[in-house]
Structure 1
């Protein structure tokens, strides 16, 4: 199993917006800024069912996460991985609420409260670091 190095793990443990890259149906990249959290060696990303990244990750369960140090963009972490689990339901709702507390210090305010939340649990297959 590919491990995220201790030297850069703090980039995932702080509320820093990460870039999530997925693969579109035509093979092209789709990149989205997202909130993320680390759970052991997995990275969890939360979204809503039906969005483009949801469609992409269900059809092609591979992703790349990239994050840079806010005060030093030359210190960065790239994690390529595969989605090993997709979870919907209360766990996904609880996860987005925990992310909102970490990132904005309050409850999650969705533009569409009826949308169903989903977690993508990404297991690293390759890691690159800088700085």
Structure 2
């Protein structure tokens, strides 16, 4: 990813299994942070959620987000990415959540019946890091 410092690219790799802490903006302007699974596609970070959840509603209303990736082996080493959600789609959402589940757990996601999965494509705009 072009916008990510070279010495933090490892946090983006599937084998690292780093969690992302996704910060979104609530309707009243207060922050909401959720640990989430993620992967990347080119220069974008991809997050997946169920349609209708709070983070889904927040990102549809306000596209500015922050994502912090923490090194699982050293929590004092992390990367913060401030960015913008540039695409929201349910197309491929179920396949994507299964791929993320395989990354983190090695098996398909146990998808509740009728749940619609959504992919959020985040364009990194600014980064800061520690460690």
Query: TM-score under structure 1 normalisation?
Result: 0.93
Give the Cα separation in 1 of the matches to 2:79 and 2:41.
Answer: 16
Moved over 2 A (4+): none
Q: What is the CA-CA distance between 1:113 and the residue it aligns to?
A: 2.6
For structure 1, the 5+ residue unaligned runs are none
Give the Cα separation in 2 of the matches to 1:12 and 1:22.
Answer: 20
What is the alpha-carbon root mean square deviation over aligned residues? 1.4
Number of residue pairs matched by the alignment? 129
Contact (CA 8 Å) 2:36, 2:47: kept in 1 or not? yes
Counterpart in 1 of 2:120?
A: 120
1:95 counterpart SS class: helix
1:9 counterpart SS class: helix
What are the equivalent positions in structure 2 for 1:6-45 lying under 5 Å apart? 6-13=6-13, 14-45=16-47
Compare 58-67 and 8-17 and name the one that shifted more: 8-17
Query: TM-score under structure 2 normalisation?
Result: 0.93
